[in-house]
Amino acid sequence: MEGDMEHPYQFIDRVIIPHDEIQQRVRTLGRQIADDYRDSERLLLLGLLRGAVVFITDLMMHVNRPMTMDFMSVSSYSGSETSGFVRIDSDHKTNIRGWDVILIDDIVDSGYTLKTVSKLLLDRQPRSLKLCALLDKPDRHQVDVKIDYLGFSIPDYFVVGYGLDIDEKGRNLPYIASVDLDKYRKLGG
Ligand code: IMP
Ligand code: MG
């Protein structure tokens, strides 16, 4: 049982979403995407590095359709706090004009990341653009953002695992776990 197992990081508080629940939900999302895009000839899953990597690789194997994958890298975070300012560190390679794009992130917090990146992508004239996130913290939203494909809504915890990190740590956990931020700071980050 994941609940009883020893975590490889001392700052973990507890498991919020176990691995099998994530897998089930991701499979449902993938099948839904395959169905919604059955008439699409140019489907692109565009993931935000590095948090969305684990999610997108699992998700796409359930999208039983011709598709391609690309990535962008953006940053706005340091530790557990957003700066509100989103910087593009590396851009996608695909020319998305005329493509059906699904922009994928690991988690929505303030909403600035998906809002800012989707505005930028719309200027590049995709045929359609939808948003997908594994997790959402609705209590934290500072801007209006509509997530078309969502895995789970969670309370206002800082979480790691399944690709999500705190200062690059925790991405390898196969489940989503909350971070004890006091302990994290005491341990020296
Ligand atoms: P937003 O721009 O405030 O919506 O923040 C979204 C980005 O912040 C995501 O791409 C994550 O990288 C990061 N983030 C927000 N909350 C968490 C969390 O609880 N754990 C790990 N990363 C988070
Ligand atoms: Mg991220």
Q: Kindly list the domain boundaries of the chain, sorted by start residue.
A: 19-154
**Is the per-residue pLDDT at 1 higher than 60?**
no
Percentage, residues of the chain above pLDDT 70: 94
Question: Measuring from each residue's beta carbon to the nearest atom of ligand 1, which residues come in under 6 Å?
Answer: 48, 51, 76-77, 82, 105-113, 158-160, 164-165
Q: pLDDT value at position 2?
A: 61
Q: How far is the CA of 135 from the centre of ligand 1 (A)?
A: 9
Report how far apart, in Å, the C-alpha atoms of 102 and of each of 15, 99, 163 are: 28, 10, 18
- pTM for this predicted structure: 0.95
In this prediction, residues 87-98 reach a mean pLDDT of 96
Ligand 1 atom having least distance to the Cα of 166: 21
Higher pLDDT, 34 or 1: 34
Pocket probe mutation, ligand 1, options 107, 137, 178, 184, max atoms within 8 Å of Cβ: 107
| Ligand 2 (single-atom ion) residues, CB below 5 Å | 51
pLDDT score recorded for residue 157 = 96
Whether 81 has a pLDDT exceeding 80, the answer reads no
Residue type for position 172? N
Distance in angstroms (rounded) separating the CA atoms of residues 102 and 99 = 10
- Ligand 1 atom 16 nearest Cα: 109
**Ligand with minimal distance to 157 CA:** 1
Number of alpha helices (DSSP H) and beta strands (DSSP E) in the chain: 4, 9
Q: Kindly tell me if the per-residue pLDDT of 53 is higher than 80.
A: yes
Confidence of residue 18 (pLDDT cuts 50, 70, 90): very high
**CATH 3.40.50.300 corresponds to the domain 19-154:** no
Please give the mean pLDDT across all residues of the chain.
Answer: 94
What's the 91 CA to ligand 1 centre distance in angstroms? Answer: 19
In this predicted structure, the answer to whether residue 127 has a pLDDT above a threshold of 60 is: yes
pLDDT (0 to 100) of residue 37: 98
Q: Check residue 48 and give left, alpha or beta (phi > 0: left; psi -120 to 50: alpha).
A: beta
Q: Is the pLDDT of residue 75 over 90?
A: no
Shortest-distance atom of ligand 1 to CA 142? 3
Q: Is the pLDDT of residue 186 over 90?
A: yes
CA of 109 relative to ligand 1 center, distance in Å: 5
Q: Where does residue 73 rank: exposed (0-12), middle (13-18), buried (19+ CB within 10 A)? A: middle
Q: Which residues does the annotation mark as catalytic? A: 109
Ligand 1 nearest atom to the CA of residue 140, by list position: 3
Per-residue pLDDT at 83: 66
Q: Tell me what pLDDT residue 80 has.
A: 65
pLDDT for 148-185, tens place per residue? 999 999 999 999 999 999 999 999 999 999 999 999 99
Ligand 1 atom closest to the Cα of residue 170 is 21
Average pLDDT over residues 104-130: 97
